[in-house]
Amino acid sequence: MDFNLALVIVVITILGIGLDGCHSKVVQFIFGDSLSDVGNNMHLSRSLAQASLPWYGIDMGNGLPNGRFTNGRTVADIIGDRTGLPRPPAFLDPSVSEEVILENGVNYASGGGGILNETGAYFIQKFSLDKQIELFQGTQELIRGKIGKRAADKFFKEGRYVVALGSNDFINNYLMPVYRDSWTYNDDTFMDYLIGTLERQLKLLHSLGARQLVVFGLGPMGCIPLQRVLSTTGNCREKANKLALTFNKAVSELVDDLGKHFPDSTYRFGDAYDVVYDVISNPNKYGFQNSDSPCCSFWNIRPALTCVPASSLCKDRSKYVFWDEYHPTDSANELIADELIKKFGLLNSDQGGAPSPAPDVAPSPEDQ
């Protein structure tokens, strides 16, 4: 064999081993619901929880639907951008490969998903948190096959983990009489069931390597437009808000306990309830003009449930807190993300806080 060719082969082999053994890119693994979904449900053909039609995504990229249940970015998008982490693609994105995972991580979030497997059953297809963790385990096997067990274990332990679910367990389960949980449990026993399930899931994630983990609490879900329009007064539904506060308190205590139980880990609880409630109560204080109805609605027919091509859009999307009956606008998501970063120190001192590029706002259809 030619000496130069042999030398090249040796060098490539050494470099290959070095790359596999020393992979140090820090990426995110996101587990969540429609507030974090970046396209998984678009690939679930039978799912009724969809953001696959205009005008979802109108203010991001090419303005076409991309699977996000908003007009622009999610809170997770913005926090990742601000903290210098790549945006992880949806697990079901056809472009996802071992190389993509190693460079960007994975987002398993699914619209309609919850902590409980039975949550959102009427959406037909969705990923519950148990299913998302199962998919993550498959991802781990894939990466182990690519770079070896030792390097893969290091890669996953250095990753950043986000768990952001819970609202569907109330809005699309316990608070809806069509679900068995609504008449099987009372407020206290349902909360015990929900938190007990989440504890098991967080412990499982730790056993799978999650060492840097943030669990996000719920916002004032009784104040989303859907809950308001279903009330007799048009005001926030206090029962739903009280459940959110109880959930947040219980999860905060759970995360603290797990942090003590796992001294090798950093577990944080992200609570934006107060700031979101203040934005909804005092929109003008934050530059908004509307905080009680969706920007995208089916003219005067409420609730619209989803945004469709026949929907009408508000004149200025940056002035609305809510995009549709459930989800915040890009502007509201940016405010929430910045508050979480500031409040919980998610921006490390060695990170420059790269800006999250705000989307170019497209004209409303009626202005075109």
Residue 188 annotated in active site: no
Judge contact between 27 and 83, C-beta under 8 A.
Answer: no
Query: Which residue in the list 81, 169, 271, 324 is annotated as catalytic?
Result: 324
Q: Which residue has the tokens 């809510």?
A: 322
Distance CA 287, CA 285 (A): 6
DSSP class of 120: T
Residue 324 annotated in active site: yes
Which structure tokens are listed for 201? Answer: 């899931």
User: What are the E-state strand segments in the chain?
Assistant: 28-32, 105-107, 160-164, 212-216, 266-270, 290-294, 296-297, 312-313, 320-322
Amino acid sitting at position 350: D
Query: Which residue in the list 327, 330, 331, 356 is annotated as catalytic?
Result: 327
Other Cβ atoms closer than 10 A to 262: 17
Instruction: Please compute Rg for the chain using Cα positions.
Output: 21
Query: Which residue in the list 34, 110, 128, 297 is annotated as catalytic?
Result: 34
Residue 207 annotated in active site: no
Which structure tokens are listed for 340? Answer: 């979480």
Q: Which residue has the tokens 């070095």?
A: 18
Residue 267's nearest CA partner among 255, 252, 251 is: 255
Query: Which three-class secondary structure state does DSSP give residue 209?
Result: coil
Buried b (16+ CB within 10 A) or exposed e, 160-186: bbbbbbbbbbbbbbbbeeebebeeeee
Give the residue numbers annotated as catalytic, written as ranges: 34, 324, 327
